Amino acid sequence: MNNYGFVRVAAASPSLKVADCDYNTDEILKQINEAQSKGVSVIVFPELGITAYTCGDLFLQRLLLEEAEKSLQRICDATRDLPVTVIVGAPVEISGRLYNMAVVVAAGYIHGAVPKTFLPNYNEFYEKRWFSSSEELKAQSVSLCGQCVPLGINLIFKMSGFSFAIEICEDLWTPIPPSCAAALSGAELIFNLSASNETTGKHGYRKALVSQQSARCIAGYVYAAAGAGESTTDIIFAGSSLIAENGSLLAEAERFSFDSQLITADIDVERLRNDRLRNKSFSLSEYSVLDNIQFGEIDIDMNKEGKEFALNRYISPTPFVPTLDATLNERCDEIFSIQVGGLAKRMLHVNSKTAVIGVSGGLDSTLALLVLVKTFDKLNLSREGIYGITMPGFGTTDRTYTNAIKLMQSLGVTIKEISIKDAVVQHFKDIEHDAGVHDITYENSQARERTQILMDYANKVNGLVIGTGDLSELALGWCTYNGDHMSMYAVNTGVPKTLVRTLVSWVAETQMDRGSKIILEDVVDTPVSPELLPAAADGTIVQKTEDVVGPYILHDFFLYYVLRFGFSPAKIYYLAKHAFEGQYDNEVILKWLRTFFWRFFSQQFKRSCLPDGPKVGSVNLSPRGDWRMPSDAAVTLWMKQLDTLR
């Protein structure tokens, strides 16, 4: 079975009856069967779910305790041939004390029992009236259902492909929850059996708590909350079950339902592992948290292997771009401010009052110009100190040329037009190149001529050359070495192409007058092109970048998962098929994935000598920071795996 590191988990909130173990077990078994039919590997139930949490002094009744153990046996018997691990809550008596226990059942056996440590005994809670804390527990095993069961809070359960640990309700609400130590000891998933009642404002706090703990532990966190059927004598339980992964909420149950609730989510364990590998502070924390704490590992072997499942999780096709309108404005403003802040500091450092930028009428130079204008405004410098140079060549079209001129006029910068045609023709004569041969020499000569003009003009006006190339172009090496590859400060170096388009649209919508907005909207709609080959007879762009190297929306997707999580080609292909279903067929995705890896490896030499520029997100290619790769690394392993994919 290969689910590419994804583990399907479930949090259940069954409709219960207080102190009716048989009824409650029937409901639990129904939800177990539902979960296994959905391909769930582990399902967790609420705190004391076999009896219900609100039994009060009935917990001290011998009959209730005996029936609870019989219910555990029923669950063992019912799950003997099911490929699902079950975590249920039950009261368990040990040496004259009663413990609020989480019991792990799989393949017909009880594999471990985890007692609650922190017992709330304030306000509406009186757990110490009935239960003892794990702190009082000396035994390391307990007899349950005729089995000798490992016992303790320091248990990690290992299954095929992942490991998990358990804490119970109040444990999470403490300054240092037990799950912190468990995560540092290797648990990738944390399951919480909870009976957290509802009060005004508590649900928002609870959601934040679960999300934050999943982030702090770099783990999946599955929180099953008591709900329908619990006593409402003084308090109410809403079934507020939650599933989170490293700070992101993946699933949330309907609250205040009278029906049983079951939520599922696919947690990416491989992603969690890669994040832990990169975060050295995470592993270093074990020295302060794990002092004198040792965890035991329990292997859970299933009689029956689970099935491969269709991924039931939204995979954004544009991982670099904010997907929620509510956060789009804030995120774009933050990114734009980072770009402006980086350039402003550099200009202050070199005491420059002028800047030079090549303006082509394309997306990248447009964003860089907008950043430059905002920087000059921030520094109270005249926009006339911005020298926008348009350099028409053999492939320049009327559309991009006109947009470049109009945009510079609307922004009030100093406009310079310097044609490169005569200089490049002379250069062709000097190096004895046939101008009719439109090869790499033909293209790169133009790019390097433009860079020479920008550099020399910057010397003339004592200014900085502002680089315009973006993160996607750097990943693919889609730039001319020592041509547009080079500048004195590159403001777009941390911004991928899909985000460039979003940022330009955002600036047009939020910061421009109607005239400038119309220009920017046309820039966004213009095909991406370096315009180094002659235009068509009708003046339209012939050389379209995405026809040559592939759609940037695909390459940005590949780039994100290669750099952010270190995923293999096989997993990226798996995710891409899911994210782009109905948009690109598998052959197209695989074709451009091959292109991506080949170019990413072969073009590292360009990234090894990049100009300075600000990092704006979690993915960056600066050789001085986020990405240190030898320029002569072999791509063989990656291409071999790609050859096996269909």
What are the catalytic residues?
47, 116, 169
d(CA 13, CA 204): 19
Q: Helix, strand, or coil here: 449?
A: helix
Q: Name the burial class of residue 90, with classes exposed (0-12), middle (13-18) and buried (19+) by CB atoms within 10 angstroms of its CB.
A: buried
Pairing state between β 464-467 and 355-358: parallel
Q: For 51, list phi and psi in degrees, rounded to 5.
A: -100, -25
Q: Name the burial class of residue 154, with classes exposed (0-12), middle (13-18) and buried (19+) by CB atoms within 10 angstroms of its CB.
A: middle
Q: In whole angstroms, how far apart are CA 411 and each of 146, 371, 406, 514, 529? A: 81, 12, 9, 12, 23
Q: Helix, strand, or coil here: 118?
A: coil
d(CA 623, CA 532): 28
Written as six digits, the tokens of 637 are 């392993």
Angle formed at CA 399 by CA 393 and CA 400, multiple of 5 degrees: 55
Read off the DSSP letter of residue 107: T
d(CA 588, CA 126): 62
d(CA 250, CA 254): 14
Query: Binding site for deamido-NAD(+), residues?
Result: 444, 473, 478-481, 606
Query: Binding site for ATP, residues?
Result: 358-365, 468
Q: Helix, strand, or coil here: 461?
A: helix
Query: Binding site, residues?
Result: 122, 196, 202, 358-365, 444, 468, 473, 478-481, 606
d(CA 103, CA 301): 16
HEC string of 387-412 equals EEEECCCCCCCHHHHHHHHHHHHHHC
Written as six digits, the tokens of 321 are 């771009």
Q: Of the candidates 391, 384, 339, 386, which has an alpha carbon nearest to the alpha carbon of residue 362?
A: 391
Cβ atoms of residues 469 and 491 within 8 Å:
no
The HSE-up count of residue 279 (CA atoms within 13 Å, CB side) is 21
d(CA 446, CA 433): 13
Written as six digits, the tokens of 568 are 């293999």
Q: Residues 352-372, buried b or exposed e (16+ Cβ, 10 A)?
A: bebbbbbbbbbbbbbbbbbbb
Q: Helix, strand, or coil here: 38?
A: coil
d(CA 611, CA 340): 16
Query: Binding site for L-glutamine, residues?
Result: 122, 196, 202
Q: For 585, list phi and psi in degrees, rounded to 5.
A: -80, 170
Angle formed at CA 161 by CA 160 and CA 162, multiple of 5 degrees: 100
